[in-house]
Structure 1
Amino acid sequence: MSLDWDSVAAFALTLPGAELSTSYSQPAVKVNGRAFVNTGHEPGSFCLQIDMDTVLLLKETEPATYWQSPHYEGWPAVLVRYDTDDPERVRAMIERAHAWQAGRPRPRGRKKA
């Protein structure tokens, strides 16, 4: 089964406190003021913001679905290919990313120059 941004965002928006927003001028779903999914910089994939331990685990165990371009290396974010063999696991990882961001402090506002 293949996912797309609309189905990813629709699922993410069912989670408590989730809201449609933008992150770096891209469509995103946020909780507690923090993006947990956004469209990303790579065609055919979306970006999942999640803890580094999970990023490393996903890349190691399912590299056909979870990967990083050089843009994301070293950051708590992993790209997820829409064309996945396991959309249920992708949804579980979206829930995990939501819980991780919901538990973090709300970001402080940026200072105006």
Structure 2
Amino acid sequence: MPDDTLAPAFDKLRRAAAGLPNISEGTSYGTPSLRAGKKFLARVKDADTVAVMCPLEEKEVLLAAAPEFYFETDHYRGWPAMLVRVHDIPIEELAHRLERAWQIQATPKMLKARGPAGRSGG
């Protein structure tokens, strides 16, 4: 990992994604990231922030309901990704967000292999 200041954020992201199938690690925009198969799932944006894929309709609700965890910048406005204060969000909530991201990014084959859990709602 090129920047050791990102390691704590990526470690929490990894822990939250534990148990999700077909997760691979890589980089995105030069920072550590997770993928569901070949599709982007989440990445470390900076030492305190991760970006997680999120349907736009859920994003609006989350921004209003939990601004202590979720926010966006102009760059992410209108984009199906949520910025998350990684050190503030409880691991269980982050795990739920990654589960939802996995569900929207997983291929039909991955969803079928996972069974009903792969198709559960938000």
Q: AA paired with 2:33?
A: A
- Pick from 80, 86, 90 the counterpart of residue 82 of structure 1: 86
Which whole-Å deviations, capped at 9, do the CAs of 1:46-100 have from their partners, x for residues lacking one? Answer: 1101211111111011011000011211100111102325331221111111111
Matches within 5 A, 1:8-47: 8-40=13-45, 42-47=46-51
Judge conservation of contact 1:39–1:46 (CA < 8 Å) in 2.
Answer: yes
Q: SS of the residue aligned with 1:22?
A: strand
Q: Tell me: CA distance 1:20–1:66, structure 2 relative to 1, closer, same or farther (3 Å).
A: same
**Higher helix proportion, which one?**
2
Which fold has the larger relative contact order, with Cα–Cα distance below 8 Å and residues 6 or more apart in sequence?
1
Judge conservation of contact 1:13–1:29 (CA < 8 Å) in 2.
Answer: no
Q: SS of the residue aligned with 2:42?
A: strand
Judge conservation of contact 2:12–2:91 (CA < 8 Å) in 1.
Answer: no
Q: AA paired with 2:60?
A: L
Structure 2 gap segments, 5+ residues each: 1-7, 109-122
Give the CA RMSD over aligned residues: 2.2
Indicate the residue corresponding to 1:60 in structure 2.
Answer: 64
Name the stretch that deviates more: 81-90 or 49-58.
81-90
Indicate the residue corresponding to 1:73 in structure 2.
Answer: 77
Judge conservation of contact 1:50–1:101 (CA < 8 Å) in 2.
Answer: no
Aligned-pair identity in percent equals 26
